[in-house]
Amino acid sequence: MDNPPDACGLIACRNICRHVVFRSQGQMVDLSIGGFSDGKLLEYIADRSTQLRRLEVIYCFGDMYGAWGESLKKLSFLEELSLFETGISDKEIEEAGRYCPLLKALKVNIKPYVYCDDHVNDEKYMSERNALTVAIGKTLPILRHLELIGNSMTDTGLKAILDGCRLLESLDLRQLQIL
């Protein structure tokens, strides 16, 4: 399902998606939603699609951060998670590592931020830039494919991934933000 043209289409797409999920009777294994997702829809999907193996969310609306933690607890069969212009925190990546033991592919693609070098020696700032990648390295050891487009990690984050995800077959770091 993809990007509705207006607010009425947004509501219609959410309702159609809910209907499709409901009609699948818990047997849905692959879902791609683009341009109309929000936290409530994600929670609805997770409650009713416990067999889901692949989830792709493209440009969600609203705050997704609270929804990911609760939803990932219910998606224990998830093997691939693809997020495009959709936020997820390091804490929620840790939830994925805890509750999605079969997760083999993770894609987190965001618009790269423009950083200035004023904070190069600021330890807190550098820690924040690496939080997501450190969480990936710490909690997702069986990842085979990792795509982090537009990420702002430093060499510390890269080292965490390479040390923690020893089964990686592919690593895509396009548009990496380097200081």
Residue 177 resides in a domain:
no
Q: Which residue has 């791609």 as its token pair?
A: 32
Q: Would residue 58 count as lying in a domain?
A: yes
Evaluate whether residue 74 is within a structural domain.
yes
- Report yes or no: 53 and 32 within 8 Å, Cβ to Cβ: no
Per the domain annotation, does 1 fall within a domain?
A: no
Tell me how far apart the alpha carbons of residues 72 and 95 are, in angstroms, rounded to a whole number.
7
Position 77 in a domain: yes
Task: Quickly count: other Cβ atoms within 10 Å of residue 161's Cβ.
Answer: 23
Q: How many structural domains comprise the chain?
A: 1
Residue 178: inside a domain: no
Domain that holds residue 90: 7-172
pTM comes to: 0.88
pLDDT in 10s for each residue of the chain, 179 residues: 666 666 677 888 899 999 999 999 999 999 999 888 888 999 999 999 999 999 999 987 666 667 888 899 999 999 999 999 888 889 999 999 999 999 999 999 987 555 555 555 556 656 788 999 999 999 999 999 999 998 888 889 999 999 999 999 999 999 876 65
Q: What's the CATH code of the domain at 76?
A: 3.80.10.10
| DSSP state string for 58-105 | ES--S--HHHHHHHHHT-TT--EEEEES----HHHHHHHHHH-TT--E
